[in-house]
Amino acid sequence: MFNRRNVLLAGSVLSTSMLTEPALGQTKKGPSREVCKQAAKLEFREAKLVPMAAGTANPRNEEVARAFRLLFGVGNPSAAIDAAEYFSKLPDKNKDQEFYREEWKTARANPLIVGFFGMTQTLPSDGDQTAWCAAFVNFCLFSSGFLGTESALSGSFRTYGTATTAPTKGDIVVFRKPGAGGDEGHGHVGFYFGEEQGRLLVLGGNQASPGSTGGVKVASFARSSGSLELHSFRSAQSFRKIA
C-alpha cells in the first residue's frame, strides 16, 4: 500500500542523490559513483527518441517540495495503470514552464522522476538521465498496493507475474534489446494501453515523442525493430498484492 513511509523512501533517494553533493574539491562518501553509474546503465533508451539533453544538476528547493506533493498526490489507486495515468496528466510546471511529468531541458534534474527510484535499489546518480522506465512501473505498482520487482532493470519484469497472449489495458508490456544487451536484461517496460495500426500503444516513463524530452506519456512501439523486440505481456490479474 502506498503510504507516507514509501514517499519518504522516495525522498531519501532525492536527498541522497541530489541534495548532499560534496563541496568543491571533496570526495563524496557513500556508494561508489562508479557503482552508481553502472546501475544507471541498466536500462536501454533509444537515442533518437530523446533528442534533447535533460538535467543532472540539483533542482531548486521549491522544486523538490513540489515533487513531494505530487508523489503524495497519486493517493491509493486501485490499479497501477491509474497511477500511471495520474502522472501522465499532471499539469504542474516549474518556473521555467517545464512539466514535472517530463525530463527537463535545463541543467537541473526533475526531482519527481528521481523520486520514482525510491521503489528500486538504484541510486540515480545521473538525475533524470538515469534510465527510469522500470523505476516508474515499480512506483505505480507500489502506489496501487502491489509488489514490484524493486529493480531499475527492465528485464526484471520478464518473469513478473504471469504471461498472457491476450493483453488488456493495464497489463505490463516488456521489451528486450536485441543481442547481448538483451541477454543482460536491457530493454524497456511500460503499461499496455492498446494497439493502433499494428503497433503497441504503451503508457510508461522514459518515453518521448518528437520535439519533447523523455516523460510519462503514451508512445507507439513496433513489436520488433532494430532497437527493441517484444518479450512478453504480464497480466495485471497476476500482480501480487502487498500483504
pLDDT digits (tens, 9 = 90+) for 152-168: 999 999 999 999 999 99
| Backbone φ/ψ region at 60: left (φ over 0), alpha (ψ -120 to 50), beta | beta
pLDDT at res. 38? 41
Asked if the model's pLDDT at residue 2 lies above 60, the reply is no
**E strand spans, 41-171:** 163-164
pLDDT at 34 over 80: no
Nearest of 183, 181, 162, 179 to residue 171 by alpha carbon: 162
What cell does 38 get?
553502472
pLDDT per position as a tens digit, 94-121? 999 999 999 988 888 899 998 998 888 7
Quote the pTM value.
Answer: 0.79
SS3 assignment, position 241: strand
Comparing 5 with 238, the larger pLDDT belongs to: 238
Q: Three-state SS for 146? A: strand
The C-alpha R_g of the chain, in whole angstroms, comes to: 17
In contact, 43 and 152? CB cutoff 8 Å: yes
Mean pLDDT of 232-241: 97
Cβ count near 188 (within 10 Å): 30
